[in-house]
């Protein structure tokens, strides 16, 4: 048997109630739930696009995952930008080596210019405009 706190959206095993009380963390709200309810909401993977929430009846329920906040979108855009910049650096390095060593083919010179332009365009991306970003396409070079 478990105790479910809708305020905390957490399950608490009754076997540990004394420990929670001693730590001052036993919730003052809650409902007794059986092992089946606990298993559904803790042991199982949530349905696609869902997250555990406290239902209006005080019991756990599945609710829609909320859309990301603007701050989360900015962080996602920054991570995407870093990943794309890393890929561009990986592509540029050997091409630049070939040019520096004066052994680059014409195709390598062209590829280097395309990847460098791509990197510049990535660098100009303003991640605070996360919803409106137009990511530059990667060059179609080897």
Q: Residues 76-95: pLDDT tens digits?
A: 999 999 999 999 999 999 99
pTM (predicted TM-score): 0.65
CB distance 15 to 21 below 8 Å: no
Position 142 confidence tier, pLDDT thresholds 50, 70, 90: low
| Span 100-134, pLDDT tens digits | 999 999 999 999 999 999 999 999 999 999 889 99
* pLDDT the model gives residue 130: 87
Q: Which of 42, 64, 86 is the last residue of a domain?
A: 64
**Residues making up the chain, counted from first to last:** 142
Q: Answer yes or no: is 140 within a domain.
A: no
Domain endpoint, select from 45, 64, 83: 64
Domain that includes residue 105, residue range: 70-132
Query: Does a structural domain hold residue 141?
Result: no
CA distance 84 to 108: 20
Neighbour-count burial of 112, counting CB atoms closer than 10 A to its CB (0-12 exposed, 13-18 middle, 19+ buried): buried
Number of structural domains, the chain? 2
Q: 47 and 83 in one domain? A: no
Which of 41, 64, 87 terminates a domain? The answer is 64
Same domain, 28 and 47: yes
Residue 21 lies in a domain: yes
């Amino acid at each position: 048997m478990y105790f479910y706190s809708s305020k905390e959206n957490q399950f608490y095993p009754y076997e540990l109630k004394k420990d929670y009380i001693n730590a001052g963390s036993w919730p003052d709200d809650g409902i007794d739930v059986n092992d089946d309810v606990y298993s559904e909401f803790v042991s199982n993977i949530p349905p696609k696009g869902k997250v555990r929430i406290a239902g209006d009846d005080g019991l756990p329920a599945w609710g829609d995952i909320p859309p990301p906040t603007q701050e989360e979108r900015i962080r996602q855009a920054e991570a995407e930008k870093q990943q794309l910049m890393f890929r561009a650096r990986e592509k540029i390095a050997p091409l630049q080596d070939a040019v520096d060593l004066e052994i680059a083919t014409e195709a390598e010179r062209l590829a280097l210019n395309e990847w460098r332009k791509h990197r510049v365009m990535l660098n100009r991306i303003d991640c605070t405009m996360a919803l409106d970003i137009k990511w530059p396409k990667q060059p179609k070079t080897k």
